Structure 1
Amino acid sequence: MNAQEIKPRQLQRLACLYVRQSTLQQVLENRESTARQYALRDRAIALGWIAERIVVLDQDLGHSGTSASDRVGFQRLVAEVGLGKVGLVLGLEVSRLARSSSDWHHLLEICALTGTLILDEDGLYDPATFNDRLLLGLKGTMSEAELYILRARLLGGILNKARRAELKLHLPIGFCYTEDNRVVLDPDKQAQATIKLLFQTFRRTGTASATVRAFRQQNLAFPRRLSKGVHKGELVWNDMRHDDVLRVLHNPVYAGAFVFGRTRTNKTADGKIHIVALAQEEWQVMIKDAHPAYISWEEYEGHLSQLRANSQAYTPKHLNPPREGPALLQGLVICGQCGERMTVRYHQRGGQRVVPDYVCQKAGISAGTAPCQRFLGRDLDAAIGQVLLEMLTPALVNQVLQWHAELCSQLSEAEHLRQMEVERAQYAADLAGRRFMRVDPDNRLVADLLEAEWNAKLRDLASAQQALAQQQQQQESEVSRKESEQMSQMLEQFPRFWNDPTTPVRERKRILRLVVSDVTVLKTTCLTAHIRFVGGATRSIEVALPPAFAQSRLTPVQTLAEIDRLLNDYRDSQVAVQMNKAGYKTFAGLSFTTSLVSALRRKHGLKDFYSRKLAEGWVSAEELARQLNVTGATIYRWQQRKLLEGVSYDERGSCLFRPLQTPLTSQARGRKKS
């Protein structure tokens, strides 16, 4: 199209100059291209547009042209063209306006409808004419193909370098590059020991959350490498987080593998970027044993399998990891009616989960029906524990001994880490001290700053030393309770360990899973449990159903008889103390209190201590004072001098007195008065 064919109505509209660079680096370094784009303004003036009608749209500097969703300037251009306000669109080349054929042809369609012209460095075009539109369409297609070719070349070079394991990628914590770009373990020994302890703790506990708790209980920090700022690349130590553990466990670099292309990046129509993790067989490059490792590849795959089993969204047929709840058979019980695994529900008392119920509710939830089976798990857990004690074998003892050795190794590794933390704090304090000593004393501004830094490092050192001393004391007390000589006699000691109330429930579950594969339970007139052991052996037991709810809340006759006997000599609060000393419990398994004793006494018609003493002839202080013609205060004073026998019947100290068998002589009364 020639400049003479420009119509007056087009000159009366705006001339929009669109300026774009793909990246901020190009904006800063490739300034010549930007200057050439701004120079198109002179072309518009030469074609007849006045300067006031020329609008420069440069809001998209630093934005890619692959999509129009995040380009404010291009969206404004399309809107102005669609409203018929633009007579000429200027761009250095088609690639500056759009790298997408859909965006480019959409702009051409609107320009053709509104009679808007397009100008680039090569010439002037009218999208309403066939020849110009065909040429512009070809240019748009070539611009899009050019971007694809450039990207393919770059990605091809990256992929070719990755296939030789020479591509330099971001390394996780615990690794670093040498000067010749080789991957090696971090030279910081504390960082290495922390990563190794993380893997050991996960294998011991079985879950990422338990690993975090173990580090927190041991007061162990976790390293992170700063990615920006003046201290970029330095290690900092903070509390471990759950995502730190997951990031380490999922990363194959720790198994010595070079991996490239583990994710796929997609961009939706709204411009949002979605990153999708790919399965291992879809990774573009995976080279095992490419550099030093913390764990083997088999251990890495075992960790991933354990994490998949721990996932709440994943419901495997095999076992889920033992947790803190008191249900001993959590994850092991199979319904004897439908064959599904039964879940656990707890009754809470005092904010704690104390009584488990096993429920088969999967089919009931999906069909809206009642559960197949539901029964109290307390008696069943106790029966399975008794079977375990009866089935104790030397093989199980050896397994527990291995667990003890692993525990000692974990404690030793944790202590080594804390010692290295103290060494790091000592070095930082010494360095700060040397800096302070070298400063000019007259330069008080610098001296004060260095002195404050030295004091802060000394406080950090004191905190690290204190934490080390506390943990050493705790570890010594724990190890002293598990001496090697006692562990060698596990056949005799194991029942005591199993029944010890201080033994963690999680450890009981772990021991049980070494022996028992699953337990199928059928509820009829009793609970019939079929136990399948790990070696393939089976055993069936029957467990009586607990009494009905009304009966379970009745106090045993023996307990009432003991309360009745104690009321002859004690008041309610003292009876509660004596019952607890004797080991009696309420129907709910709780200890006795004054209010409970009083309620049981009233409910069962038992006389209280006061009534029993009155029936025996004991009298109150007021009545005895009337008999002796003295005041009540005199009676209590005589009791303190042990001239009268009295017993307290309430918490205020009120007493009943044994009646006098013979009248007091005047001489005795005189001694008492004196």
Structure 2
Amino acid sequence: MNASLKVQPHHLERSAYLYVRQSSMRQVLENVESTKRQYALRGRATALGWRDEQIVTIDSDQGESGASASWREGFQRLVTDVGMGRAGIVMGLEVSRLARNNADWHRLLEICALADTLILDEDGIYDPASFNDRLLLGLKGTMSEAELHVLKARLRGGILNKVNRGEYRCLLPTGFVYDDLGNVVLDPDSQVRETITYFFETFLRVGSASQTVKVFKKEGLLFPSRMRNAKFLVFQHLTASTALRMLNNPRYAGAYAYGRRHYRKLADGRKVPRKRDRNDWLACIPDAHPGYITWEQYQQNLAVLATNGRGYKVARSSPPREGAALLQGRAICGRCGRYLRLRYATRRGRQEAWYVCDRAHGARGEPCCQSIAGAPIDEAVGALIVASMTPAAVELAWEIRREIEARHDEADRLRLRAIERAKFDADLAQRRFMLVDPGNRLVADTLEQEWNDKLRILADAREQRERSQQQERLILDDAIRDRLIAMTADFKTLWRDPSLANRERKRLLAYIVEDVTLVKLPDEGTTKIHVRFKAGKTETLTAQNPKTSAQQVKTQPEVLELIDKLLDDHTCSQIAQLLNDRGIRPGGCVRPGKSNIRFDALRVSYIAHRNGLRSRRDRLRDRGMLTKPEAAARLGIHEATLTRWVEYGLAKRHAYNDHAFLYEVPDSHPPVKHSSRWDRLTDRAKAAHSERGI
């Protein structure tokens, strides 16, 4: 069919859309002939019968790739207008101008077929509703997409060929630059080199990226940053993200690496990076250029980072922290084999640590394996470490001192570099101010202000160095020296020194102990500790578990024995007074002056009853003592007479509490006192008994 015959009157009633696109801004600037050819299609539309005001040109996608339509606003507008029935014909120089993606291309064809819209390219006019035309357009779209793939593969192949030789130039991290011959060399700035070297030495010492950042912050050191190989350097505070990026970058180990990440485009056009496994890198060439660390040190750093970031389901040896638990990351449950977690609680004004195995409870609702108090465990393991380390205390002391002095010297050297840079900037600002015409106040004032700012930065750098030197000199001359002397004399004293940070104890433990397995024996009140050293040697210890709350308030056997003995001759109130005078407190603890809880008669009586001790009343009854009525009846006298006998010493009574007594009956009657008053009392007592029938 003739192409002009495909254009019908209802097509001419709608607009003609001309879509103009170049794949990149470089093509827009350089391939001007292609742009002219695309705009010349307006003449084709005019020849087919469309008026100039009916021709709509969409050229907002200039510089956009045709690989996808998600980020091309012009193409989306074109599809929308076609779907709304506003377009009679869509014009493009070739299919690749409209789309290089089959999904976008066939979607446009489907919409054009439904809306009865024609498509025009440099070869002719096509009706998507016609099978033959649609088949031809589909083939053109497939060839366009294949062409894009071939172009990319050709360019990619050239890049990968240079990558395999290690010659492809890519962005270098801070600390590296390209020389005049294109070779990778260390940054010529000595401050940059020394700062990066100190960074890796600090990480090797503390074993954590976050702790490295804290060291730089504490020592007042700034870290260099060079954006996209720019010559301008910026010194700023070190961040955790920067530290992790440097530790994971193999370029610092002198290795050429390419393809460590691959990018995927989302539906909205954003690129999302994804890390590749080390075995999937496109290129990794060790010793390709100078580095700050060795390849072996790089591998060790990655292993430390992987260990620090592991989840709780696998073996974990986290970097030492400030917590009181000595076996952080090294305690293993002897029942299920999982690593024990730490729980801290503040009780009685001090922090207590507990080793807890509760993952099965949280995941499956099962009972907790065991919960072990940390203080006895840490004390037993600490004693073992002290015994193991004592022979090497002198050598270790001097090694620590040399390490501390070297660390401070390196930090001071970095501060000197910062002062040198600040002085250079101040001198440069001064020379600029001196060269300006004094009459040009607009420029002179600005340069003078810049000079003052540089001088202020120089003064701050010098002040920071002096302050740091004083602090380090104080630490080295006093605290560290005394500590080293103590270590040389007695390592046990240093280990138990309260001023020694827990992190330092854990660091020392990490070099000696591989892991520690704990098994709690509740029946025996002890915990078995199986220590496995780095060299393979094992040691088994036993630690006494702390008493539970119930056990702490339970009266001790020796106190019960003492109460049982005192009940023979004392009442409960008398026993309470005796116990308090001896410094014994409820629970059996001897804590003079440290507890407000004291014994009283009621507490002693409760303890005796609770533990099955015979009461004092029963003990007195066993010794033949009688109650007051029983004693009066035995003697044939009135109870009041018995009371008077006790007052005059004629009879004995023994108290079994604060207000009750039992009486000891004498073997014979007391002697008769020859007094009229005594006779009258005796006669009255006998008369009273006779009246009662006794």
Given that 1:16 and 1:89 are in contact with CA atoms closer than 8 Å, whether structure 2 keeps it comes out as yes
Say which of 420, 425, 428 aligns to 2:422. Answer: 425
Q: Give the 3 Å change call, closer, same or farther, for CA 92–376 of structure 1 in structure 2.
A: same
* Residues 573-615 of structure 1, C-alpha deviations (whole Å, 9 max, x = no match): xxxxxxxxxxxxxx9xxxx9xxx99xx669889xxxxxxxxxx
Deviation at residue 437 of structure 1 after TM alignment: 1.9
Q: Give the 3 Å change call, closer, same or farther, for CA 226–530 of structure 1 in structure 2.
A: closer
User: 2:321: which partner in 1?
Assistant: 323
Q: Which moved more, 1:383-392 or 1:299-308?
A: 383-392
Q: Give the alignment of 1:146-545 within 5 angstroms.
A: 146-227=147-228, 232-313=230-311, 315-317=313-315, 319-348=317-346, 354-395=351-392, 398-399=395-396, 401-481=398-478, 487=484, 490-524=487-521, 525-545=525-545
1:127 is the counterpart of 2:128 = yes
Distance 1:258 1:537 in 2: 42
Given that 2:486 and 2:494 are in contact with CA atoms closer than 8 Å, whether structure 1 keeps it comes out as no
- The count of aligned residue pairs is 562
User: Could you tell me which amino acid in structure 2 is paired with residue 285 of structure 1?
Assistant: A
Q: Which moved more, 1:499-508 or 1:395-404?
A: 395-404
Q: Which moved more, 1:139-148 or 1:294-303?
A: 139-148
User: Could you tell me which amino acid in structure 2 is paired with residue 422 of structure 1?
Assistant: I
Gaps of 5+ in 1: 557-586, 606-674
Q: Give the 3 Å change call, closer, same or farther, for CA 441–313 of structure 1 in structure 2.
A: same
Deviation at residue 532 of structure 1 after TM alignment: 2.1
Distance 2:386 2:336 in 1: 30
Q: Give the 3 Å change call, closer, same or farther, for CA 483–78 of structure 1 in structure 2.
A: closer
Distance 1:29 1:11 in 2: 35
Distance 1:80 1:495 in 2: 85
Q: Which moved more, 1:501-510 or 1:304-313?
A: 304-313
* Residues 63-103 of structure 1, C-alpha deviations (whole Å, 9 max, x = no match): 11101111122122222222332210011111110001121
Given that 2:487 and 2:494 are in contact with CA atoms closer than 8 Å, whether structure 1 keeps it comes out as no
Q: Give the 3 Å change call, closer, same or farther, for CA 508–43 of structure 1 in structure 2.
A: same
Given that 1:346 and 1:353 are in contact with CA atoms closer than 8 Å, whether structure 2 keeps it comes out as no
RMSD: 2.7
* Residues 427-466 of structure 1, C-alpha deviations (whole Å, 9 max, x = no match): 1111111222222221111111111111111110110000
Given that 2:313 and 2:338 are in contact with CA atoms closer than 8 Å, whether structure 1 keeps it comes out as no
User: 1:45: which partner in 2?
Assistant: 46
Q: Which moved more, 1:19-28 or 1:180-189?
A: 19-28
User: 1:654: which partner in 2?
Assistant: none
1:11 is the counterpart of 2:20 = no
Distance 2:123 2:369 in 1: 80
Q: Give the alignment of 1:78-157 within 5 angstroms.
A: 78-157=79-158
User: Could you tell me which amino acid in structure 2 is paired with residue 253 of structure 1?
Assistant: R
Q: Which moved more, 1:266-275 or 1:500-509?
A: 266-275
Distance 2:8 2:270 in 1: 41
Q: Give the 3 Å change call, closer, same or farther, for CA 408–176 of structure 1 in structure 2.
A: same
Q: Give the 3 Å change call, closer, same or farther, for CA 286–314 of structure 1 in structure 2.
A: farther
Q: Give the 3 Å change call, closer, same or farther, for CA 316–492 of structure 1 in structure 2.
A: farther
Distance 1:357 1:392 in 2: 26
Distance 2:329 2:151 in 1: 55
Given that 1:436 and 1:451 are in contact with CA atoms closer than 8 Å, whether structure 2 keeps it comes out as yes
Identity %: 48
Given that 1:101 and 1:144 are in contact with CA atoms closer than 8 Å, whether structure 2 keeps it comes out as yes
Deviation at residue 374 of structure 1 after TM alignment: 0.6
Distance 1:276 1:474 in 2: 45
Distance 1:493 1:33 in 2: 87
Given that 1:18 and 1:91 are in contact with CA atoms closer than 8 Å, whether structure 2 keeps it comes out as yes
TM-score by length of 1: 0.79
* Residues 111-146 of structure 1, C-alpha deviations (whole Å, 9 max, x = no match): 223221111122211122233222222221221111
Structure with bigger gyration radius = 2
Given that 1:309 and 1:315 are in contact with CA atoms closer than 8 Å, whether structure 2 keeps it comes out as no
Deviation at residue 242 of structure 1 after TM alignment: 0.5
User: 1:669: which partner in 2?
Assistant: none
Deviation at residue 307 of structure 1 after TM alignment: 0.6
Given that 2:377 and 2:543 are in contact with CA atoms closer than 8 Å, whether structure 1 keeps it comes out as yes
Gaps of 5+ in 2: 557-586, 601-694
Distance 1:407 1:97 in 2: 68
User: Could you tell me which amino acid in structure 2 is paired with residue 406 of structure 1?
Assistant: E
SS class of match (1:61): coil
Deviation at residue 313 of structure 1 after TM alignment: 3.7
Q: Give the 3 Å change call, closer, same or farther, for CA 362–552 of structure 1 in structure 2.
A: same
Deviation at residue 58 of structure 1 after TM alignment: 2.1
Deviation at residue 3 of structure 1 after TM alignment: 1.0
1:58 is the counterpart of 2:55 = no
Given that 2:176 and 2:185 are in contact with CA atoms closer than 8 Å, whether structure 1 keeps it comes out as yes
Q: Give the 3 Å change call, closer, same or farther, for CA 16–555 of structure 1 in structure 2.
A: farther
Deviation at residue 187 of structure 1 after TM alignment: 0.4
Distance 2:282 2:471 in 1: 49
Q: Give the 3 Å change call, closer, same or farther, for CA 20–348 of structure 1 in structure 2.
A: farther
Deviation at residue 47 of structure 1 after TM alignment: 0.6
Given that 2:393 and 2:487 are in contact with CA atoms closer than 8 Å, whether structure 1 keeps it comes out as no
Q: Give the 3 Å change call, closer, same or farther, for CA 485–219 of structure 1 in structure 2.
A: closer
Q: Give the 3 Å change call, closer, same or farther, for CA 602–345 of structure 1 in structure 2.
A: closer
Given that 2:203 and 2:212 are in contact with CA atoms closer than 8 Å, whether structure 1 keeps it comes out as yes
Q: Which moved more, 1:271-280 or 1:545-554?
A: 545-554
Given that 2:487 and 2:493 are in contact with CA atoms closer than 8 Å, whether structure 1 keeps it comes out as no
Q: Give the 3 Å change call, closer, same or farther, for CA 357–486 of structure 1 in structure 2.
A: closer
Distance 2:388 2:597 in 1: 48
Given that 1:487 and 1:493 are in contact with CA atoms closer than 8 Å, whether structure 2 keeps it comes out as no
SS class of match (2:352): strand
SS class of match (1:22): coil
Distance 1:399 1:143 in 2: 72
Q: Which moved more, 1:480-489 or 1:363-372?
A: 480-489
Q: Give the alignment of 1:547-562 within 5 angstroms.
A: 547-549=547-549
Q: Give the 3 Å change call, closer, same or farther, for CA 539–397 of structure 1 in structure 2.
A: farther
Q: Which moved more, 1:274-283 or 1:180-189?
A: 274-283
Distance 1:489 1:501 in 2: 13
Q: Give the 3 Å change call, closer, same or farther, for CA 5–392 of structure 1 in structure 2.
A: closer
Deviation at residue 321 of structure 1 after TM alignment: 2.1
Q: Give the 3 Å change call, closer, same or farther, for CA 397–122 of structure 1 in structure 2.
A: farther
Distance 1:555 1:465 in 2: 67
SS class of match (2:531): strand
Given that 2:6 and 2:125 are in contact with CA atoms closer than 8 Å, whether structure 1 keeps it comes out as no
